[in-house]
């Protein structure tokens, strides 16, 4: 009898756990996540106004999600983790751990599944809506790319937290009070949030944004280093012939410690009398490694280091007793990159420009004091081919609109672009 009584709680827990794996809940969570992720995949089509279809899909997804119970919330978060962030695992290929990709994807899915589950346990539609409004503040290891304001990027409506709040309030009205009243509130919300064309400032000189298509394996292959350097120098020469005032090459365009390569430094300084050169490379100082931007202009060189590092890419944001074994197993005992002390700016012809390197360009900290201009450099080959560049681009567009910053983005692995507020 004692054994039977002790066993009952286990049976009860087992039944509750099994209930989450009901096919109906899995399918519904899957469909909601598709509705909330479609805007990212539609961006691959690169068609004007196609984002408005993604917005409609996302609004329907938010409506169904807010009406759903916690089991569906778990699966919605699980599949949102999949559709938004599957590409994070692709970097394992370049550490010879490609076979672990399914395990990392599963881990990502479970993290977001349990985040959504935790919110849904409160069983309040208002708290659920607040979570959806401020989802980017729930950032595992500082990774804050889950932001539902993005559904308004590239649409007819302002991509702001206020627009999202109005949409969520309209959905709540529809669910709690009247469907027709909610629909009217939704239409009114979108009218209020209509985005009129604004004027923007661009740099007062010609700039060449370079796109390169180097595979990640090529970048750090010693056998290709000289070819990459030669190609970069040819690109700079072409920009000079084209009459550009500045040329921007992507992150890690020069796959070496540029401040220790005196011959190459001298050659770039010489060319900078004809054109300003902004390029990515490694930096070293005081036994510290840096992911850096180098600015060559009028025979002078300046190095600006990255401030916000990629979690598990450039730093392991865990205590040492966990970090060290991970570093030994996955990163061949490599040390973390070191951070800059703060945001960094430089000037070309008296125009102040904010420096940003890849991931950090998507962070609000880099937009301190709302800079007019930012030059960002990225290497997206880590995740190619995937929807990572599309999601990154939407986040940059959101930040550009929010901070009224014109962003010039030079990329390896996907098209470079100028992003206006």
Which DSSP symbol is given to 157?
B
The DSSP call for residue 254 is E
Query: CA-CA distance, 86 to 83, in Å (whole number)?
Result: 6
* SS3 call for 240: helix
Would you state the structure tokens that stand for residue 273, as one six-digit string? Answer: 């009398």
User: How many CB atoms neighbour CB 321 within 10 A?
Assistant: 7
Query: Tokens at residue 219, please?
Result: 């970048």
Catalytic residue chosen out of the listed positions 104, 109, 158, 251:
251
Q: Per DSSP, which regions of 85-150 are E strands?
A: none
Quick one: which H or E segment has residue 375? Answer: strand 373-379
Q: Which of 158, 271, 306, 397 is catalytic?
A: 306
What span, in angstroms and rounded, lies between the C-alpha atoms of 232 and 279?
10
* Nearest alpha-carbon partner for 159 in 417, 399, 364: 399
Question: 28, 104, 271, 358: which one is catalytic?
Answer: 358
Is 306 annotated as catalytic?
Answer: yes
CA dist 139 and 363 (Å) reads: 12
358 catalytically annotated: yes
- Whether the link from the prior residue into 71 is cis, omega within 30° of 0, is no
Positions marked active-site: 251, 306, 358
């Amino acid at each position: 009898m004692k054994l039977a009584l002790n066993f009952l709680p286990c049976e009860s827990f087992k039944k509750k756990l099994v209930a989450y794996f009901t096919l109906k809940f899995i399918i519904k969570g899957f469909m909601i996540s598709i509705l909330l992720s479609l805007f990212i995949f539609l961006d691959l089509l690169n068609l004007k106004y196609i984002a408005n279809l993604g917005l409609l899909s996302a609004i329907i997804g938010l409506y169904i999600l807010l009406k759903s119970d916690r089991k569906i919330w778990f699966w919605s978060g699980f599949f949102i983790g999949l559709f938004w962030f599957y590409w994070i695992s692709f970097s394992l290929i370049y550490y010879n751990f490609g076979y672990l990709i399914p395990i990392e994807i599963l881990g990502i899915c479970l993290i977001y599944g349990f985040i959504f589950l935790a919110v849904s346990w409160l069983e309040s539609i208002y708290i659920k809506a607040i979570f959806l409004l401020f989802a980017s503040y729930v950032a595992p290891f500082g990774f804050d790319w889950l932001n539902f304001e993005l559904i308004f990027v590239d649409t007819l409506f302002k991509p702001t937290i206020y627009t999202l709040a109005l949409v969520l309030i309209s959905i709540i009205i529809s669910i709690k009070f009247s469907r027709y009243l909610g629909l009217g509130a939704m239409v009114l919300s979108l009218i209020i949030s209509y985005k009129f064309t604004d004027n923007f400032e661009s740099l007062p000189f010609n700039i060449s944004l370079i796109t390169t298509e180097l595979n990640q394996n090529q970048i750090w292959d010693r056998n290709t280093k000289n070819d990459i350097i030669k190609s970069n120098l040819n690109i700079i020469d072409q920009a000079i012939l084209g009459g550009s005032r500045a040329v921007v090459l992507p992150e890690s365009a020069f796959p070496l410690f540029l401040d220790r390569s005196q011959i190459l430094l001298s050659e770039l300084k010489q060319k900078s009398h004809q054109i300003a050169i902004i390029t990515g490379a490694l930096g070293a100082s005081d036994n510290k490694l840096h992911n850096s931007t180098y600015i060559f202009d009028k025979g002078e060189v300046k190095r600006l280091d990255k401030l916000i590092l990629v979690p598990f890419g450039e730093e392991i944001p865990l205590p040492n007793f966990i970090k060290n074994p991970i570093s030994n197993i996955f990163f061949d005992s490599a040390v973390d990159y070191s951070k800059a002390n703060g945001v960094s700016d430089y000037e070309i012809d008296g125009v102040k420009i904010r420096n940003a390197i890849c991931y950090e360009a998507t962070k609000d900290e880099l937009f301190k004091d709302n800079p007019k201009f930012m030059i960002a450099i990225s290497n997206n080959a880590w995740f190619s081919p995937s929807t990572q560049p599309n999601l990154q681009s939407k986040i940059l567009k959101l930040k550009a609109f929010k901070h009224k910053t014109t962003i010039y983005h030079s990329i390896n692995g996907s098209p470079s672009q100028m992003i206006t507020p």
